[in-house]
Chains A and B, each alone.
Chain A
């Protein structure tokens, strides 16, 4: 259209303007004339990032992933994803001559014959553990501050997928060295898959390329571990970041901060320096741990063999909840339908885990349905100010914790000299009753804290100083708040239960009824923020 006539003009203008003679200036000009990079710098360079310690959890996850990529790439140069049998001939004497797979031998070689190899293996492993842990904590932060609300629901789902992918990456990696523990982990996977109705036998058969363990599984998991899953993770991180830029970061309530602004430091230079520095700190701390703390000493475990005992071994922490779910099934949950075996002792725990994960993924949409709130929310809630949500989170965490504790039932039993049966029964009770108790207690605590905030907002802090009034009465002196301090206590959203009213066509549908019931459960107990008249009244006596 008009491009042709305007093109040459802007080019000459550009050349004239970019008279910066310094090397950097000329390089920048060179790049910009070929890429329009200046647009991106203009758009991103001074974007504002709010600051809070809990916002760093996501950063930790990102940085540990970078560490994983770097260390993992180094490992690929030495690791052999093959299950063909070899006789170990590396330099670790106790294993000399032992029959093992090439995968285990190459992992032993990384540990004993590649200088710095053990260090990189350990960095990779510790970074993996930190990666999953920081994603988990980051999710909890987002959940308990309500940062998943509109417009960020989709980014919550992306983050959730990252969490699942991280666990998958961890499990596939754990299986690669083909040592006793990783083989045992695969055995359990095989058994679980076989227990699935109709398709289980065949899926296991296809997965392992024949009967368990076969000679294919390590190679297949390797392709997933270093190609497919990392590509998905990188793509998801990309989407996560783009949405973060579009939605901008949430911020906690504070004086001057509103739902319509972002207050913080610009990317260039302060945030870049802080975040870049923080990357090096995370990397450095991981190095420090890897240099001093041994992890996964495969040379003590030896090659996989279906027969030896491995009492007291534990899966990586993030798989624990799945292992625990298997342990908590009461005896006898398996029956026949005609000639077919239905393994409820596997189907039920698998379903329970899927329901738990599904509930996590769907929560933002559920809450949006309950509140009917279509506005954008950019102010992070303090957890106490959303008592029901916080209580739901606590209940979910308790459920997870019970499963997780069950995965260590044998260790708990031997450590505290209890019988294994009583520990399992305890965990079962915790799994069923725990979430209800946690819900109730958390909700009460939140409401109590809100009441306390109200008190403080209206009457100031208790100073601890007692004075005697002329009439002989003792009172405690309250120290008034500044309006800035007060603002943090009084600025929060408050919802009320839905009033069930017929819609435009005069009907009350079952859906409306359900929503009214849930809304009532959600918001029946609520503490409203202090209003201006209340504050004025309290200041006038």
Chain B
């Protein structure tokens, strides 16, 4: 290695040599633009015999610390000072750690401990960092060295030996001669990971997801209750223009609260009945201008919960799909395609809002088997 490294400074003619070598060496032997199979083919590169030659290395410039012993001393002190600051920082971090116990949950104390310890550690690190970099730049032997490159491919001899190794392997094992052994081995190797893949079926429970995705907690008679308190809602409490975040009664007590909520969350609004366009078959799904729609976006499932009272539009905060409540939550903008599913509702004999049934279609993001029931 050492013999290939040369000093790039001064009058050494190494630069000249290598500089000219580049122009006249291997790379410029061909001027053809055809594809060639040789590994040095220049392709469509233009190789110019009349290119300007590499001038070789410029004379070296010395640093102040090379020229002036006082500057050198100064740099030496500066490097040590940085390392000293590093020591100070590390100790300061420990001191802050000891001085400020935590545990009372006061965000202010927390912020100051974080700040104090962090600044100490940072100083400890930066001291070492700046010290080392300053040392290398101002005091270490500074001029450039040159190392020769070699082509990456192995020497012809090595490559020939590698080929020989493989053909010996082939010959001694009979790998390509004994076709039956080879093919059955490949088949066995293809077969062996299959059980591993099948094992991953165990990642999820036994049920078919399609059955689960098509139903929610809502049933005939389930009361609409406030999210998150779970108190029921009387139709009379829903004034025109208001909107309620709704969950089914009993949701908070279920075991899989979040899974159920991710399907059953509903938004309840009251509009003037004449503002609503109701399609046939849905006449009984609303009550006196009160409508309930799934809150789970039909795009990829974020909660669609920004209700604009004036326009009766619902906006999904994730990708800005907009749904028009006056037209049964059809999409008026954004990447979602389907309207939000409507929850059919009615009023029970105590005046509370209850579901008439479950949703009549799967809620939330689209999935492949969605319509297939």
Which residues does A use to contact B, with CB under 8 Å?
42-43, 46-48, 90-93, 111-116, 118-119, 122-123, 151, 184, 187-188, 190-192, 194-202, 204-214, 216, 246-248, 255-266, 269-270, 273-274, 276-285, 287-288, 290-292, 299, 304-313, 323, 326-334, 336, 339-343, 345-346, 370-376, 378, 409-410, 420-421, 424, 482-484, 486-487, 490-491, 493-499, 501, 519, 523, 528-533, 535
Contacts and interface: CB of A to CB of B under 8 A. Distances in A.
Contacts of A194: 300, 365-368
A263 B123 CA distance: 34
A501 B302 contact: no
18 contacts: A92-B107, A191-B297, A196-B368, A201-B368, A206-B201, A210-B259, A214-B259, A246-B152, A258-B19, A263-B8, A273-B136, A278-B129, A332-B337, A340-B368, A345-B337, A372-B44, A378-B149, A410-B320
B168 interface: no
A341 B140 contact: no
B63 interface: no
A209 B203 CA distance: 5
Q: Which 9 A-B pairs have the closest CB atoms?
A: A291-B118, A191-B300, A372-B43, A277-B132, A91-B105, A280-B129, A256-B57, A284-B125, A256-B15
Given A91-B103, A112-B102, A486-B55, 20 more contacts: A112-B105, A184-B318, A194-B368, A211-B209, A212-B259, A214-B259, A255-B58, A256-B55, A284-B125, A307-B227, A336-B371, A340-B369, A342-B368, A346-B366, A372-B36, A424-B334, A487-B52, A487-B55, A519-B44, A532-B50
A211 B19 CA distance: 67
B296 A306 contact: yes
Contacts of A112: 102, 105, 107, 110
B110 A373 contact: no
A43 B336 CA distance: 60
Given A46-B1, A280-B132, A307-B245, A261 B148 contact: yes
Contacts of A498: 33, 44
B97 A375 contact: no
A263 B55 contact: no
Contacts of A195: 300, 365-367
Contacts of B124: 284
Interface string B227-250: 110000000000000000101000
Given A187-B301, A341-B367, A312 B320 contact: no
A118 B110 contact: yes
A306 to B, nearest CB: 4
B43 A202 contact: no
B317 to A, nearest CB: 4
B262 A48 contact: no
Contacts of A207: 203
Nearest to A288: B122
B43 A373 contact: yes
A307 to B, nearest CB: 4
Contacts of A115: 97, 100-102, 113, 117
B18 interface: yes
A306 B258 contact: yes
Contact of B57 (A47, A255, A340): A255
Nearest to A310: B317
Contacts of A499: 33
A197 B125 CA distance: 51
Contact of A312 (B52, B256, B300, B317): B317
A532 to B, nearest CB: 5
Contact of A202 (B104, B149, B209, B302): B209
B297 to A, nearest CB: 8
Interface string B273-300: 0000000000000000000000111011
Interface string B134-156: 11110011101111110110000
Contacts of A491: 51-52, 54
B45 A306 contact: no
A257 B16 CA distance: 10
Given A280-B125, A287-B121, A341-B368, A334 B338 contact: yes
Contacts of A424: 320, 333-334
Nearest to A330: B335
A409 B318 CA distance: 10
A523 B146 CA distance: 34
B52 A486 contact: yes
B243 to A, nearest CB: 11
B38 interface: yes
Given A118-B114, A247-B152, A262-B147, A206 B203 contact: yes
Contacts of A204: 209, 367
A283 B103 contact: no
A334 B101 CA distance: 57
B151 to A, nearest CB: 6
B118 A495 contact: no
Nearest to B149: A260
B175 interface: no
B33 A487 contact: no
A284 B132 CA distance: 13
Nearest to B267: A307
Which residue of B122, B146, B364 has the most chain A CB atoms within 10 A of its CB atom?
B122
B95 interface: no
Contacts of A290: 114, 118
A277 B128 contact: yes
B129 A279 contact: yes
A46 B5 contact: yes
B247 A307 contact: yes
A530 B149 contact: no
Interface stretch (B20-28, B66-74, B158-166, B342-350): B20-28
Contact of A206 (B118, B122, B204): B204
Nearest to A108: B105
B152 A327 contact: no
Contacts of A199: 368
Nearest to A348: B335
Contact of B212 (A93, A211, A329): A211
Nearest to A243: B152
B252 to A, nearest CB: 9
A306 B114 contact: no
B204 to A, nearest CB: 5
Nearest to B89: A284
Given A258-B22, A334-B338, A378-B149, A113 B114 contact: no
A305 B257 CA distance: 10
Most chain A CB inside 10 Å of its own CB: which residue of B40, B148, B320: B320
B191 interface: no
Contacts of B15: 255-256
Contact of B259 (A191, A213, A532): A213
Contacts of B118: 119, 123, 287-288, 290-292
B303 A495 contact: no
A331 B334 contact: yes
B41 A116 contact: no
A313 B102 CA distance: 30
B296 A484 contact: no
B371 A48 contact: no
Nearest to A208: B204
A261 B1 CA distance: 13
Nearest to B307: A309
B192 interface: no
Nearest to B58: A484
